[in-house]
Structure 1
Amino acid sequence: MSPADPVVRPATTSDDADLLEIDHVTWSPRWSPGTAPDRERDPAFFREQHGGPEGFLVAELDGVVVGYVGLHPAGNLASHAHVRIIDGLGVLPAAQGRGVGEALVRAAVERARAEGAAKVTLRVLGTNPTARRLYERCGFAVEGVLVGEFVIAGAVVDDVWMAIHLDR
């Protein structure tokens, strides 16, 4: 008997605690240039920084939320309305290697397509080759590299911009 495939669905406000936990256990300076989540400072996932649940999809395995992806408009300009950005992806360590990340990224791309987007972008740190390979499997390609964009824990880190064009 094989393990169940991930089920991806839109996030709801009732997912807040699960997504907050995923955010806390998956954060690392190897894949985020920002500050570590702080339960006292950030007691909820859906807050000003993340907005509401409408910009997120969650993945479940056997009815348990194990991952999320954020998909939002890339900007506020009308001339940029055709672009969406994946601006967050997290999968619980126990669920990694089971296709959850790929299911989430593919679902985000399909959601963007359904919304009429022509392009989906994302940023990934040069210190995260595993994520980069995931995005490449899902059809993303490097569009640019901001060399030395961050200094994290004393190390210079590149910011890799990737995209998939939905109208090609």
Structure 2
Amino acid sequence: MPQPYDLPQPAQPAQRSQPSQRSELIIRPAVLDDDTALAELDRRTWSPLHAVQPKPQPPYDPFFTLHNRVEQILVAELAGSPVGYIRLVPPTPLACNAHVRQIQGLAVDERVRGQGVARALLGAAYQEARRQGATRMTLRVLGHNTPARRLYASEGFAVEGVLPGEFLLEGEYVDDVMMGRPLDR
């Protein structure tokens, strides 16, 4: 069920193009018809700041795959177009781990960054995880991704582990930081 979110105005409007009116952000479950738009969004937002896979090159793969299923994705939509998504999955198939959901992807179009889209996606992910019976949320973030780490910390995620130098990205060793939080609030 779509949920409206009123986007706050950015602190420095001169740095972003602003519509003449405030727009309503909708967070909704993904549908198969989102494939092309989400694949394009994924390519536009690719960065070594958060990606461990090489930059996508043509011919491009579809967004939805056996590993990246439509039912795992929540979409942020603004003015009828996807501007972000979050992927929420059980971290393992084990029954003893069924109370945990893991964020395994969060992307926001650069044109709307700083306007609350990531927070709205996280809020919707918490609600969906609770609906699925989860009591805990986890994620992994690259150590050099300071903006994402700040966002997650402000949302109540705590660092629960670090794999030092886990990835070699653009000639530099980068930590893999594991974060988690309870879903009781």
Partner of 1:33: 52
Matched, 1:127 2:140: no
Matched, 1:67 2:84: yes
Gaps of 5+ in 2: 1-19
Q: Structure 2 CA distance, aligned partners of 1:98 and 1:119?
A: 26
Deviation per CA, 1:58-87, whole angstroms, max 9, x where unpaired? 001122210000001110111111111100
Q: Structure 1 CA distance, aligned partners of 2:150 and 2:23?
A: 23
TM-score of the superposed pair, with normalisation by structure 1 = 0.92
The alpha carbon displacement at 1:151 in A equals: 1.0
Quick one: which amino acid aligns to residue 37 of structure 1?
A: P
Q: Structure 1 CA distance, aligned partners of 2:57 and 2:180?
A: 30
Quick one: which amino acid aligns to residue 3 of structure 1?
A: R
Deviation per CA, 1:6-31, whole angstroms, max 9, x where unpaired? 21010000111111011101111121
Matched, 1:160 2:177: yes
Partner of 2:23: 4
Whether the aligned pair in 2 keeps the contact of 1:120 and 1:163 (CA below 8 Å) is yes
Partner of 1:147: 164
Q: Over the residues paired in the alignment, what is the CA RMSD in angstroms?
A: 1.5
Quick one: which amino acid aligns to residue 59 of structure 2?
A: E
Q: Structure 2 CA distance, aligned partners of 1:110 and 1:119?
A: 12
| Residue 131 (structure 2) aligned to one of 114, 128, 133 | 114
Whether the aligned pair in 2 keeps the contact of 1:7 and 1:60 (CA below 8 Å) is yes
TM-score of the superposed pair, with normalisation by structure 2 = 0.84
The alpha carbon displacement at 1:114 in A equals: 1.2
Quick one: which amino acid aligns to residue 44 of structure 2?
A: V
Deviation per CA, 1:111-139, whole angstroms, max 9, x where unpaired? 10111101110000011110111112222
Q: Structure 1 CA distance, aligned partners of 2:101 and 2:110?
A: 27
Gaps of 5+ in 1: none
Partner of 1:21: 40
Percent identity between the two aligned chains = 49
Whether the aligned pair in 2 keeps the contact of 1:106 and 1:138 (CA below 8 Å) is no
Partner of 2:102: 85
Matched, 1:136 2:153: yes
Segments ≥4 residues shifted beyond 6 Å? none
Aligned with 2:54: secondary structure? coil
Matched, 1:47 2:71: no
Whether the aligned pair in 2 keeps the contact of 1:23 and 1:37 (CA below 8 Å) is no
Partner of 1:58: 75
